[in-house]
Structure 1
């Protein structure tokens, strides 16, 4: 029996298909519709890790033509949430975002890639604040944004 979450199993299934990343990303955005506004594509997913990209298009621009601060926050939360959902043992625990601290380090004038990672293995407890660091990089591989997203992990009743 595999320890992989249902989400990671679905990821592996979709990855075998043409445009699998895009289809999987669409399915995630169907489950959480607000994320669809920025048209993200999930690039990689495994326990403790998720990466995703948002294209530098007008739909995510602010008034100066760069990627809007809140679009960056949305991408960070998407990446962290998908990673946590794929990592937390779903039969015994649940999670919800509790807070986010961000730093805008540079204007984002290219596509932007987010990476959310936590160290594993992890001992899951009840009423735990799990801080998920997320980093966003432009296409020049420059760090442009960081976030620490606190996920509240509880045991299921």
Structure 2
């Protein structure tokens, strides 16, 4: 079982556990601390993150900056991939295609979905991410290609 899966399973149902899980992830990959996010759901094939609209993430017109949403999309895609991969598989982001559909304001919901990941096969795995606003309107979408491949055997 992955370290991410162990950490989520031990923290998510405890008071403050989702917040703590998100902080630990941000300590491992500090760039993610630049956005104000919290994991709400993490399971094989899907993840959900809350993204707060904070002034520190605004652009010049007072809406959530496009790159903050890209950061949230990569966070959702990466952690959901890490949670879902079999223990003999490694992964790395290979590419990202985004669409900015509408100015983003207020509390945002980031939802990532991915197909099953096979052991022993090298493959590009598309992770879809959608960000919606409080009204349920989609403000941003992304497809992040994760290159998944078998881990190399360690030399004896």
Fold shared, TM-score > 0.5 on shorter chain: yes
Q: 1:93 to 1:77 in 2, by over 3 A?
A: same
2:87 aligned with 1:52, yes or no? no
Unaligned runs of 5+ in 1: none
Q: How many residues align?
A: 152
State whether residues 115 and 127 of structure 2, in contact with CA within 8 Å, keep that contact through their aligned partners in structure 1.
no
Counterpart of 2:110? 114
Q: 2:85 aligns with which of 55, 63, 88?
A: 88
Q: How big is the alpha-carbon RMSD for the aligned residues of Structure 1 and Structure 2? A: 1.3
State whether residues 138 and 144 of structure 1, in contact with CA within 8 Å, keep that contact through their aligned partners in structure 2.
yes
Unaligned runs of 5+ in 2: none
2:140 aligned with 1:145, yes or no? yes
* Post-superposition offset of 1:125: 4.4
* Post-superposition offset of 1:59: 1.0
2:28 aligned with 1:31, yes or no? yes
Q: 2:59 aligns with which of 42, 57, 62?
A: 62
* Post-superposition offset of 1:85: 0.2
TM-score (ref. length: structure 2): 0.92
- Specify the SS of the correspondent of 1:76: helix
